[in-house]
Structure 1
Amino acid sequence: MYAVIKTGGKQYKVSAGDLLKVEKLAGAVGETIELDEVLMVGGEEVKIGTPLLPNAKVTATIVEQGKDKKILVFKSKRRKNYRKKYGHRQPLTRLKITNIEA
């Protein structure tokens, strides 16, 4: 059984036991959270929401709160000796999907 969920403005196809890297969610490591925005549930019988399924939810456990790899942003203007270099590390949460209810 799999589900398509929406969190952090993105959509993910998940099934039980998957490890997932999503935008930062509130909670401590080891806490259980419920993701309510389920767009689709598949398996033997496919259910598609318009846009969300009313009584479906995905349960996940927070495995890690951390940051992603650093992205470098470099700005320059030609012939003007203008250079700026920025680094950005996006905060993220790593989830382990435990259960899908439809």
Structure 2
Amino acid sequence: MFAVIKTGGKQYRVAANDEFTVEKLVGDAGDLVTFTDVLMVGTTIGAPLVAGASVTAEIVEQTRGPKVISFKKRRRQNSKRTRGHRQDLTLIRIGEILTDGKAPSAKAKAARTEAASADTTAEAVEAQDTAAASAETAAEKPKKPRAPRKKAAATDTDAEA
């Protein structure tokens, strides 16, 4: 089943487990977002919205779009202007398409929680491995003795004082 949702002034055709970028949404990676502006579900078309329909999604990542350069030049006037812009975007993964005012299923919540805990465990192990590797590298390198600093030569102003 698919749905058409509206977010960020645009419309998106979505299905379960789709991943795509939308205009920036408030939240961190792993947070749940519910879209209530559903324009169409399957063959049911809203007028303008489908009553009781919602789409749940998970924020995968907060990211930024490509840099867009705006360059203006006025010929023979020695005038030019360059501006750059990068749009803030959010990568989301669609979870469920709900109709008739239903709430998100507990099974989907449990799967997200389990996946998040597995991710944090893998990240913790990787961080420990990185810390151990850097400690070994630091222990292997002998410290080189520093040469003593040379004293500055006396100047005429020092003699006068």
TM range (shorter): over 0.9
Tell me how far apart the structure 2 counterparts of residues 29 and 81 of structure 1 sit (CA, whole Å).
Answer: 47
Number of aligned residue pairs: 99
Q: Within the alignment, does 1:15 sit opposite 2:12 as a pair?
A: no
Deviation at 1:66, TM superposition (A): 1.2
Tell me how far apart the structure 2 counterparts of residues 12 and 54 of structure 1 sit (CA, whole Å).
Answer: 18
Which residue does 1:78 correspond to in 2?
75
Deviation at 1:38, TM superposition (A): 0.2
What does 1:57-76 align with in structure 2 at a 5 Å threshold?
Answer: 57-76=54-73
Tell me how far apart the structure 1 counterparts of residues 65 and 52 of structure 2 sit (CA, whole Å).
Answer: 33
What does 1:1-102 align with in structure 2 at a 5 Å threshold?
Answer: 1-42=1-42, 46-102=43-99
Deviation at 1:35, TM superposition (A): 0.4
Tell me which protein shows more helix as a share of its residues. Answer: 2
Tell me how far apart the structure 2 counterparts of residues 91 and 75 of structure 1 sit (CA, whole Å).
Answer: 24
Deviation at 1:78, TM superposition (A): 1.4
Kindly name which structure, 1 or 2, has the bigger radius of gyration based on alpha carbons. Answer: 2
SS in 1 for 2:17: coil
Tell me how far apart the structure 2 counterparts of residues 73 and 14 of structure 1 sit (CA, whole Å).
Answer: 32
Query: Which residue identity is paired with 1:94?
Result: L
TM-score by length of 1: 0.95
SS in 2 for 1:76: strand
Q: Which runs of 5+ in 1 are unaligned?
A: none
Deviation at 1:60, TM superposition (A): 0.1
What is the percentage of aligned positions where both structures have the same residue? 52
Tell me which protein shows more strand as a share of its residues. Answer: 1
Aligned structure 1 segments of 4 or more residues deviating by more than 2 angstroms: none
SS in 1 for 2:21: strand
Tell me how far apart the structure 1 counterparts of residues 51 and 28 of structure 2 sit (CA, whole Å).
Answer: 27
SS in 1 for 2:82: strand
TM-score by length of 2: 0.61
Query: Which residue identity is paired with 1:93?
Result: T
The structure showing larger relative contact order (alpha-carbon pairs under 8 Å, at least 6 residues apart) is 1
RMSD: 0.6
